[in-house]
Copies of this chain bind each other. A is one copy, B any other.
């Protein structure tokens, strides 16, 4: 099954990426590695604000992380032209806007990690760090960046 068939089965519709709101670009390729800029969580096209452990629960954070993974795929589709060029999801950095007592950043990140593995299978299994940060741009609840190996 192709990546696009899998997305259809999962009823995932890739968004049309919006340009970064600051002085950077969505992706840069260097050799076989494609570095994808941090994407913040969005809902209804606007920043999805919130802080885990303060006004958001883990399950909601997981949904936010999953939605970012879909946005990241939208960006990769747009930038690479074809998601079939993804050879491997190499590395994820998942930044979770966290109140002082919230310690489930790894579970929040799973929302994104699991989607990538559903879509890409073994090629979606990646190295990862998940951390709790003090704040994020526009108050977003989660931000995720990726390194992807392309063919």
Residue of B nearest to A104 (CB): B137
A67 on interface, CB distance cutoff 8 Å: no
**Neighbour of A28 across the interface among B101, B110, B127, B133, CB < 8 A:** B127
Instruction: Kindly state the separation between the CA atoms of A95 and B32 in the bound complex, as whole angstroms.
Output: 27
A76 on interface, CB distance cutoff 8 Å: no
**Neighbour of A33 across the interface among B30, B129, B132, B138, CB < 8 A:** B30
- A141 CB to nearest chain B CB (Å): 11
Instruction: Kindly state the separation between the CA atoms of A127 and B36 in the bound complex, as whole angstroms.
Output: 6
Instruction: Kindly state the separation between the CA atoms of A99 and B133 in the bound complex, as whole angstroms.
Output: 11
Closest 9 CB pairs of A and B: A38-B129, A132-B135, A24-B128, A23-B113, A106-B137, A22-B106, A30-B149, A35-B127, A37-B127
A26 contacts across to B, CB distance below 8 A: 127
New A-B pairs, 9, CB < 8 Å, besides A24-B127, A28-B91, A105-B136: A24-B92, A28-B90, A30-B33, A35-B91, A35-B127, A38-B130, A100-B134, A104-B137, A132-B134
